[in-house]
Each structure stands twice: as C-alpha cells, then as structure tokens.
Amino acid sequence: MNLAFCLVACAVTLFSSTAQQAPKANQLFSLTLHPLEAPVKVGAEVHLTVTVKNTSDHDLNLGFLPGPPPYQAMTYEIEVRDAEGHEAPPTALLRSLREHLGAGFQTNAGYTLPPGKSSDEQLDITKLYVLTKPGAYTIRVARRQNPLRKTDEDIVSSNPITIRVIK
C-alpha cells in the first residue's frame, strides 16, 4: 500500500511540476517555471528559467527592476517551501529587498512582448533563499499584470516545480 501511494504521489508531483498553467480568461500572460534536470548539491547556485508568454491580442509592456539578477527577480513574487511546507529561510539580501521594496516598485525599465511571443528570464534562487538543508523544495513564482495594482485577481502564477537538494 505504501509503495503504491509513493508511486502515485511521485507521478502527481512529476506531472504537476512540468504542466503549464492554463491562462485565465482575463489573464494577459502566462508564466512557466522550468524544472531542473538533476538534483542540486548543498551550496551550489540554483538558477531557474521562467518563460513569460503574451497570451493577449496586443503588445504588453512588461517592467522589471533593473540591476543584477537578484534585483530583477524582485519583479516576481517567489515562493520557496521545504517538504514540510515551511518557507525556506530568506537571505539577508532578500530581507533587505523586502524591507525597502515592500510596498512595490516603479520603474521605467522594461520591454515590449508582442502577442503570442515569449521571453525567458533567469532567476537566481540562491541569492534570495538559503537552501543548505538537504531535501525537496517546491518553488512557484507569480507576477502582477500591473505592478501598481495590489489585487489578487491581478496576480499570474506559474506552475510549481520541485527541486532536490542533496549533500
């Protein structure tokens, strides 16, 4: 019984980590977080790719926080949880960014994404979260369609992925 349950749970996890979220009717873009191909050793950097796809019928102007990759990642709400569902410890950098950017940000930096087109962005997860405890971590990213609006309906979420950190 336990082996069958584990096999089903693994299949569901594998399916959910690679499935793309279906866009909602009023959603202007979709986010796809790409899983890693192999486990990561404790202390190694974790770089993930998120694909932003314009699912609307018009050009989208997408802003981002300029600077090196850790700052650009603040364009996203990144959630990293361990196997027990607890948030992974944030780094000092992330705590500082949250303190200074907690109310959001405004920027003139950005790019235009035509209808049906995609753009890949890199996220350095280890600059934001401490992943020194071996185990499974579930990661999901979200982005607001309009950074100035703070409504739940304005948030677009990615698919969740699971990474494994090993000794």
pLDDT tens-digit readout, 118-141: 999 989 999 999 999 999 999 999
Q: The tokens 């709400």 sit on which residue?
A: 77
Task: Indicate the CATH number for domain 2-166.
Answer: 2.60.40.2970
Predicted TM-score (pTM) of this structure? 0.78
CB contact burial 115-129 (16+ within 10 A = b; e otherwise):
eeeeeebebbbbbbb
The chain-wide mean pLDDT, for the chain, equals 79
Range from 27-36, 64-73, 105-114 carrying the lowest mean pLDDT: 64-73
Q: The tokens 């280890």 sit on which residue?
A: 126
What is the residue extent of each domain of the chain? Answer: 2-166
Q: The tokens 């977080």 sit on which residue?
A: 33
